Structure 1
Amino acid sequence: MAAGKSKIGRRVARLLGMPFSDTDRVVVSAHGPIPAIFEREGEDAFREYERDAVARAVAKRSVVSLGGGAVVHPSTAELLSAATVVYLTVSPEAVRSRIAGSNRPLLTDGVESWERIFAERKPLYERLATATWDTSTLPISRIADEIAHWAKGRI
């Protein structure tokens, strides 16, 4: 969460001339705001909607921005295991300003919630990652340029 996935993914897609899909936006478009989904239907329902959005995006051969928790759903993780996955990391210090005032349903205690959730998910992120970039200090444009350059050798 708050690693810059959407902004970086959008730029990488543009640099590569590929379609871009932000699975959170796809879910919101079809089912309403994420906090409302969590409240109305619970996290399990949201993860199912998210899995469906990931499956459609991966099938289109596009650059995909995933929600930070997408990997917790076993069938989403299975879909990603066959894809090229860029893992974007971010430090707690950088996250603090990025999540200030946000309406993220799982971040009830701010950075403390983020750190706990990240610690739980980190092994999944690392297992699925093809490559890793840290987004804590470098400009998003530079990170996207580096990822696009790296990806050109893989597609």
Structure 2
Amino acid sequence: MTSPDRAALVFVGPMGAGKSSIGRKVARELGVAFTDTDTMIVREHGPIPALFAAQGEEHFRSLERSAVVAALAAGGVVALGGGAVLDPHTRADLAHHRVVLLTVAPEIVKARIGGANRPLLSGGDAVARWEQIYAQRRALYDEVADITFDSSIGHVSAVAAAIARWARENDVTTDSRPTPEASA
């Protein structure tokens, strides 16, 4: 659990919604550290597709949970992997933070996920699989979110500016102390 003075501004949403790119821009605009939990996992354990192949999704989710705990404790702006909300402990932890849900339209996400090596989208129609996963997780995203922004509309810089403006207007605390896991 994180104390309110160490609250993070957390990005959740489906694969390809722009959590990392928009989160990084928001952190820069707010002048705080940015942490991406998927980047933390890759840095410490290797490529996510290799983790899925060698040890399975359950092992990956365990690593993801540890990364989420560390990232939330650091504060600042945090981008979670699309499936992080599947863990009930993560959802409970998010109640102590401000959470932004980024959504994206399927016709937009097609270009964003094309060519990406995403284990849950392999084999078959990636967009159809993405839509299925998003539908399964949507209620969990809505459960933890304080506000929703659609990254399909406008340039990512405009979306980031709108989120930063919302954070300032709502006095969102994003205390952060740079950590080795933080990425710029």
Shorter chain as normaliser: what TM range?
over 0.9
| Greater shift in the superposed pair: 86-95 or 74-83 | 74-83
| Greater shift in the superposed pair: 115-124 or 42-51 | 42-51
Q: Please give the alpha-carbon distance, in whole angstroms, between the structure 2 residues aligned to 1:104 and 1:154.
A: 32
Equivalence for 1:149? 165
Higher RCO (CA 8 Å, separation ≥ 6 residues): 2
Measured against aligned partners, the alpha-carbon deviations of 1:66-122 in whole angstroms (never above 9, x if no partner) come to: 111110112122211221100000000001111111100001231010000000000
SS at match of 1:68: coil
Alignment root-mean-square deviation, CA: 0.9
Measured against aligned partners, the alpha-carbon deviations of 1:14-46 in whole angstroms (never above 9, x if no partner) come to: 111111000000000011000000011111111
Equivalence for 1:88? 102
Corresponding position: 1:44 with 2:33: no
Q: How does 1:1-155 map to 2 (within 5 A)?
A: 1-108=15-122, 109-152=125-168, 153-155=171-173
User: How far did 1:137 drift?
Assistant: 2.6
Q: State the AA in 2 paired with 1:83.
A: H
Runs of 4+ in 1 over 4 A off after TM superposition: none
Q: Please give the alpha-carbon distance, in whole angstroms, between the structure 1 residues aligned to 2:24 and 2:126.
A: 26
Aligned residues: 155
Q: Please give the alpha-carbon distance, in whole angstroms, between the structure 2 residues aligned to 1:44 and 1:127.
A: 23
List runs of 5+ in structure 2 lacking aligned partners: 1-14, 174-184
User: How far did 1:149 drift?
Assistant: 0.9
List runs of 5+ in structure 1 lacking aligned partners: none
**Once the two structures are aligned, what percentage of the paired residues are identical?**
52
Q: State the AA in 1 paired with 2:82.
A: G
SS at match of 1:64: strand
The TM-score, its normalising length taken from structure 1, stands at: 0.97
The TM-score, its normalising length taken from structure 2, stands at: 0.82
Q: Please give the alpha-carbon distance, in whole angstroms, between the structure 1 residues aligned to 2:40 and 2:90.
A: 15
